[in-house]
Structure formats: structure tokens, C-alpha cells
Structure 1
Amino acid sequence: MTPSPMLLSPFQLGDLTLKNRVVMAPMTRARAGTDRIPNALMAEYYTQRSTAGLILIEATSISQQGLGWLNTPGIYTDAQTDGWKLVVETVQNQGTPLFLQLWHCGRSSHSSFQEGGQLPVAPSAIAIEGEEIHTPNGKQPHEVPRALETDEVPQVVEDYRKAAERAKQAGFAGVEIHAANGYLIDEFLQSKSNHRSDRYGGSIENRYQFLKEIVEAILTVYPSERVGVRLSPNGAYNSMGSPDYRETFLYVASQLNAYKLAYLHLLDGLAFGFHELGSPMTLPEFRQVFDQPLMGNCGYTQADAETAIANGSADLISFGRPFISNPDLVDRFKNGWELNPSSDMSQWYSFGAEGYIDFPAYSAA
């Protein structure tokens, strides 16, 4: 008997049959070069990890305005779309569906990434506290962003829709809306970073409006069962964490439930940092307001994942860092094989093959 009968069992995700409930989490790996075009190296990386039931492709910028990391991929030009076609065609031959995570960095960007050296945009002119940002000109302090004007917001929503359209052209089975980790959508959702007085700010209902419009725009491209949303209710990354976090995220989840989405992807684990504004939010809390598939993430072990699925807290679990150094992670889970040692973080963003496609599959020798 497999050591994880629930985790390794098939799952019906809408009209997609997943071969197991192990999901590869979206992880920024910065291998798309300065032109941000997906390439053969990236295709090999994802193919190596195609034992996952579902692969969530790394955060991918919907526009130049959405950029905020070096060498990350985009989905806003024809060349980028063609590059993704190569990746999709290569990996789908392994029988693993791919969802593309759509990303706008918001205030977690810098003028050096922006057209004409403009300031990054955000819901409000509030800078990220603390650490510096890696830019094309080296490490720089975070800048105070420019608050989007009310009449500019629909264009950003349209950028999400166009990105979804390009993702569909490239052959992706679906898309995940990145509404977590202090990027633009999360900035709109949270009272800490959203001090607007228009229809996109103030009440929880208004702060949710931006995400609502994005979801509804993308649903004109993909059916609801091919669209997921990622939230980080416990997260402190990019200096997030709002006093009304519990009320906010339960409201957001309850509203998303009406769309019958593919899943809600929650960073419920605390390994990525916790804002410590109260008790951590848990998957069972979200079960009360969201009756579609729930995906847990962040710091799960194989045993933790099995327990969460067996007790009904989660339907799927996404794994991030274990997939970096264990391309055959599912086979290791299945056979009880030891995992490779955690990789050296200094190599994660080497921009080349090192620390990317050079981790060995299991060998008994």
C-alpha cells in the first residue's frame, strides 16, 4: 500500500482528471532572460516535474507595468506567447495539465522596470516597508508607488483578460489569479495597503471589487472550472497583514464561491512569514464559506498533506521548495524514498541551468 493513499489518489478537478493530488506550486525561478520569453530550459524544468497531478506555472507578468523581478516571464507579447506554447506542448505530452499564474507586482516593483522610468502603481501611495528590491540597477530601496486613478483600473483589468486570452492561445488548461503575497490584487484587498476613497477602497466590499472585476473578465475567456485564485490570509511578505484580515478573507472566499471556480489556493502554512495579528487562518475556516476544491500550501510535509486531505480540510496540496530539489517528488512520495537535501538558495536564481535542472532523480545506488 502507498504510504499516502489519499494524497496519491486521482482527483476530478472540474472536467480535468488529475493523476494525483500533489500540485507543483508556482515558484519564481527567473530563467526567462531579459526578453522574458519562456524557453527550452524552462520546458525541461517543468517536464522533469511532470509527475505532479497539476503544475501551476510560475508567476507571469500580464504587462510591462506588472513587472517587478529580474528575468521572470511575461504573457503580453506574441514572442512570449509562442515561448509558452513550446513549454505547454512539451509538458502536456507527460499527461499533466498546466495552469498559468497571472501576476502584477503592483508596488512590489521599481521605476527601473517601468516604461519611461515611471513609478510603480498600487491602490494607494504607500511604500513597502523594510527590505530593498533587486532591480536592473542592483539593489534599491522600495519607492513610494503611484496610486492608480479610478479610470485607470479598467485597463489593468483588461490586461488580465488579454493575458488569459494569450494563455489560452498558448494551450494552458487554465489560469490562476495571483491575489496573494502583497502583489497588486492583494494590495487592493487589504486595508493596510488600500486607503482609497473611491469604489475600489474603504469597505471590504469595495476593496474586493478589483478582484471581482478581474475574475469576471477572465471568465469571458476560460470557463470557471479552469480558473483558480490564490490568497495569502496569514502572510507578512511584502509588508502585508491587516487588522481585519479574518473578516476580509472570509468575505473574499465567500464571494468567490459563487463562481464555482476550479479551486481556491491558500497559503495557510506559516513558513513564508506570519503577520501575527491574531490566530492563523485555517483551511477548515474557509471550508465553511467555500464549497469548491481547496488547495493548501506552504511548508507541508508528505504526512501533513495526507492528513489534511484525509480529514477533509483540503482536496489538493501544493508543494514548492520540495519540488525544486526533487524533480521526481511524487515518485519519492509513492515509494517512501528519501528526499534530496534542500538546495542552496543562492543557486535558485542563477539565471541558468545551475540550481534549476541539475537535481538528480532518485537512485538506489
Structure 2
Amino acid sequence: MEKQEEEKETRMDCIALLTPHKMETFHLSHRIVLAPLSRLRSYSFTPQPHAILYYTQRTTEGGLLISEASGISETAQGLPNTPGIWKKEHVEAWKPIVKGVHDKGGIFFCQLWHSGRVSNNVYQPNSRSPISSTDKPILNQQFIGGSEREIDANYSPPHRLTVEEISGVINDFRIAAKNAIEAGFDGVEIHGANGYLIDQFLKNQVNDRTDQYGGSLQNRCRFPLEVIKAVSDEVGSEKVGMRLSPFANYNDSADSDPHTLGVFMADSLSQLGICYCHVIEPRMVTQFERVETRESLAEMRKAFKGSFIVAGGYYDRDEANRVVENGDADLVAFGRAFLANPDLVKRFRLNARLNEYDRSTFYIDAPVVGYTDYPFLDD
């Protein structure tokens, strides 16, 4: 009987999603990635000890985890209680969290983030205006925060960065990357998606500049690529990934030709030799719903020669497995499924039932509820 059970588990292991993958110098034991998920539980913008349990619960030997978005400077924040990586105290707070992941054999990348105009004066130093590629405010006004912690404030009109100020932001990304490596992270992911600062430069329906950082496709991509170059020079390109969402219009940020934008960025990132490209699929036009689309990431996949990660509301094992099996991606990032199932890899390996997520607890002010209290299969 015991031998039969072992053979059964071995057969279930033999799906593409659960096969090893070499990502630059990193040897991954499977293709399932913890997507970067803001949880709003880092009080005073500082990672907290309860994050040790949260991340280690989701760690497997040889598995890749990407941290929640971490601010690169005091101007980067756009949500309450998101972590930072610009201060010494942030580095020290991250160290035991990273150590916990490493002690279980996990590979941990820190997502570096600047919210840009997706912010309010309340989060900015001295109540200044948020910064952006533009001075155009977000038209789709809404509260800033999450369920159970709504803040009665719209996004504030932004300050258009000068060329000199852009250089300072690039340096902030560089320093944040250096800090992340000091904290013990294996690498960094540059957040260039979802309508945040880098995306505000990429998308031509936001970026209305007339200098070297606006206008043509090459000019709009200049700032993101300069960030990647500075970070790669600091920590090594083999330790750098980037997240993109060319087809999405999150936070009132869209482009008139997302296909061309995506392929250009994928090719440019490949030439810079970074570790991976992490792309949100075209069907995720809005943040919480999937739509039918004829668009595909095939050309981006072809243009980028490193490891290619896709994200797009994946919850089903077989659907994600087909993506890897067909060669459409090397790795698949899971958000809500990994949040609600800390042992997601084991459940996929056994083809076991998944826990349902509870959206109402995604962002509540609680270090346990909706954070570290989802049951394991063994429970």
C-alpha cells in the first residue's frame, strides 16, 4: 500500500508545472511562483515580525517567492502600511523575514516599487504632491486603501518630474536594490506595471512629456530602462527581474499600442541580460476580473531570452500547467490561490482541493486573520 501511494505521488509530480527550471544561477524545483501581493500589514512602512510566518508558510525548497511591493523612497508610498526598503531600519526588519525563507530553502526576490501619482498628499513627505511623468491627475478617482480601511481621499494631482529629478529617482531605485541585497534577498524585481510610476512613463495615454522621456516609444521606455541599467550595474543583471502590464489600464494608465510597447520592452530587457521578465496577461485589463481577448504574449515571450513569468488570475492547476507545457511561459505566478493556500505547491502536487480566498480580509489590520490563518492540507 505504501509503495502504491509513493508511485501515485510520483505520477502526480510529472506535470510540467512541477518540473525543475534553471533561472540564471537559480535552480528552481518547480514552476510555481508566489506573486507580489500587497497585504498592508507593515506598520509605519516597516516590515513586521508576523511577515516571517506569512512568507515561510508559503516557502518550499527551491521555490521562488516575490515580496510585496516595497517602497524605494519616502515619496514612493501610495497605500497605508506598505513596507519600505530605503532606510537602514527597513533593511534590519527584512533580514529575519528573508532568513526564514532561506532556512526553508526558498529563493526570495524583493519587488521595488514607486507608486507615482497613485497616491495622496497624506502619504507624501511634508504633504507634498506625488510625483509622476505628468501633472495630469488620475481621472478615475477612488479611495486610497483597501476593504475595512477606506480612506476618504482621492488621488492628489501629481508633480511632473524634471529631468534632474528623474536622475534622483533612478538613484533611489539603485540604493533600494543595494539595500535589498544587504537584507539578504537573492534578487530584486522592478515594478513596472499596474499604473505605478514606471508604467506612467511607459504608457502614452499618461506620459505627455515633450523632452527625452516622452513622445516616441523609445523615449517613453528610457526611464524604465535606465532604472534597470542602474540596478543591474549595482547588484548584477542576473539578480534583476521586471514586472510589466502593457495591456492593462490599471490606475487610469493605458497605451494606444500595448503590443508594440510590450515587445519593445521585452527585447530591450533581454539585451540588458536580466534574470526574468514577469508579465501580466492581456486578459487582466482590470484588476479583479478576467476578460476574453485575442491578444497574446507570444511575441514578448519570443523577444525575451531569459526566464518568462506570466500572471493573470491563475487559480487552476491544469490551466497553469498547460501554459508551461505549451511553452508559453517558464513560470506561473499565483496570487489569490497562494494567499489562501500556503501549501499550494503540495496541493498541486497531490491535485488536492483548494481553500477559497476571502477578499474581505485581504487588507484588514490584522497580523493573523486573512494572513496566516488559512488552513494547510494536513489540518
TM bucket, shorter chain: over 0.9
Please state which structure has a larger fraction of its residues in helix.
2
Change (3 A) 1:269 1:250: closer
Once the two structures are TM-superposed, the CA of residue 3 in structure 1 deviates from its matched residue by 6.2
Moved more, 61-70 or 235-244: 235-244
The match for 1:246 is 259
Distance (whole Å) between structure 1 residues aligned to residue 75 and residue 14 of structure 2: 43
Cα distance in 2, alignment partners of residues 110 and 75 from structure 1: 20
Q: Say whether the 8 Å CA contact 2:361–2:370 is kept in structure 1.
A: yes
User: What is the deviation of 1:236?
Assistant: 1.8
Q: Which residue of 1 aligns with 2:296?
A: 282
Q: Which amino acid aligns with 2:354?
A: L
Partner Cα distance (2:39, 2:202) in 1: 26
Which residue of structure 1 aligns with residue 169 of structure 2?
A: 156
Query: How many Å separate the matches in 2 of 1:269 and 1:332?
Result: 27
Map 1:84-233; keep pairs closer than 5 Å.
Answer: 84-134=94-144, 138-233=151-246
Deviation at 1:347, TM superposition (A): 1.0
Give the match for residue 49 of structure 1. 58
Residue 359 of structure 1: how far off its partner (Å) = 0.5
Q: Which runs of 5+ in 2 are unaligned?
A: 1-10
Q: Amino acid of the residue matched to residue 43 of structure 1?
A: I
2:4 maps to which residue? none
Contact 1:4 1:306 in 2 (8 A): no
Q: Deviation at 1:351?
A: 2.2
Q: CA deviation at 1:133?
A: 3.0
Kindly tell me the number of residue pairs found equivalent between the two proteins. Answer: 362
CA shift, 1:37, in A, is 1.4
Once residues 23 and 127 of structure 2 are traced to their aligned partners in structure 1, the CA distance between those partners, rounded to angstroms, is 43
Instruction: Give the letter aligned to residue 287 of structure 1.
Output: R
What percentage of residue pairs aligned between the two structures are identical?
Answer: 36
Match of 2:81 among 41, 66, 71: 71
Equivalent position to 2:30, from 17, 20, 24: 20
**Aligned-residue offset at 1:131:** 3.5
Structure 1 SS opposite 2:137: coil
TM-score by length of 1: 0.95
Give the counterpart letter for 1:46 in structure 2. Answer: Y
CA deviation map 1:125-165 (0-9, x unaligned)? 11112231326992212222110111110000000000001
Moved more, 85-94 or 47-56: 47-56
Pairwise CA distance, 1:74 = 0.2
Greater mean deviation of Cα atoms: 3-12 or 235-244: 3-12
Q: Kindly indicate whether the alpha-carbon contact (under 8 Å) linking 1:61 and 1:103 is maintained by their aligned counterparts in 2.
A: yes
Match of 2:313 among 299, 305, 330: 299
Write the distance in 2 (CA, Å) between the matches of 1:4 and 1:283. 26
State the SS of the aligned residue for 1:99. Answer: strand
Instruction: Write the distance in 2 (CA, Å) between the matches of 1:363 and 1:124.
Output: 51
- Alignment-mate amino acid for residue 50 of structure 2: L
Alpha carbons of 1:137 and 1:263: their partners in 2 closer, same or farther (altered >3 Å)?
Answer: closer
User: In the alignment, what sits opposite 1:39?
Assistant: 48
Cα distance in 1 between the residues matched to 2:377 and 2:199: 38
Write the distance in 2 (CA, Å) between the matches of 1:266 and 1:84: 26
- Report deviation, 1:247: 1.5
Matched, 1:320 2:335: yes
Counterpart amino acid of 1:76?
A: W
Per-residue Cα deviation, 1:244-263 (whole angstroms, up to 9, x for no partner): 22211211111111012111
User: Are the structure 2 counterparts of residues 281 and 263 from structure 1 closer, same or farther at C-alpha, using a change threshold of 3 Å?
Assistant: farther
TM-score, normalising length: structure 2: 0.91
Q: The residue matched to 1:55 in structure 2 has which SS?
A: strand
Compute the displacement of 1:17 (Å): 0.7
1:192 CA drift (Å) = 0.7
Kept in 1: contact 2:308–2:329 (CA 8 A): yes
Question: Cα distance, 1:272 vs. partner?
Answer: 5.7
Distance apart, 1:280 and its partner CA: 5.2
Distance 1:7 1:224 in 2: 26
- Once the two structures are TM-superposed, the CA of residue 223 in structure 1 deviates from its matched residue by 1.7
**Which segment drifts farther, 202-211 or 263-272?**
263-272
Q: Secondary structure at the residue paired with 1:27?
A: coil
3-state secondary structure, aligned to 2:47: coil
1:271, 1:245 → 2: CA distance?
13
Note closer, same or farther for the CA distance 1:280–1:193 as it changes in structure 2 (3 Å cut). farther
Q: CA deviation at 1:337?
A: 0.8
SS in 2 for 1:139: coil
> Is the partner of 1:220 in helix, strand or coil?
helix
